[in-house]
Amino acid sequence: MPRNENLPGVPLGQLLGEANLLLICLHCQWRETYDLQKVISQLQARGVNGPLIGICDARHHVRQTCPRCGSQKWETRPDYGPYVPPAT
Ligand SMILES: [Zn+2]
């Protein structure tokens, strides 16, 4: 089955505790995993009902630009691997 880019995806609230959010730049493939609980908290702080946002729809709520290429075209996916905080 071809992937439908318009599907909202599994709600973040349902993924909580099972996956984190993988953010991928569609322009240059830069990627970073974000703690899902923090992502939901940030959405809530903006008045968005974070737990109900689909993992694929979450890309519409990303406000940052890509640190490598400056693009704002994102893809968001669940990341089921162990959470590794970004190196700073
Ligand atoms: Zn990029």
Q: Could you read off the pLDDT of 10-20 as tens digits, one per residue?
A: 999 999 999 99
User: What is the structure's pLDDT at 82?
Assistant: 76
Sign, Cα dihedral of 38, 47, 66, 2: positive
Q: How many angstroms separate the alpha carbon of residue 1 from the centre of ligand 1?
A: 28
CA distance 19 to 26: 21
CA of 85 to the centre of ligand 1 (A): 19
pLDDT computed for residue 2 by the predictor = 55
Give residue 28 CA to ligand 1 midpoint distance, Å. Answer: 4
Q: Would you call 50 helix, strand, or coil by DSSP?
A: helix
The closest alpha carbon to 67, from 14, 34, 39, 27, belongs to 27
Cα separations in angstroms, 28 against 41, 44, 73: 27, 29, 10
Model confidence over 38-72: pLDDT tens digits? 999 999 999 999 999 999 999 999 999 999 999 99
Residue that wins the pLDDT comparison between 86 and 22: 22
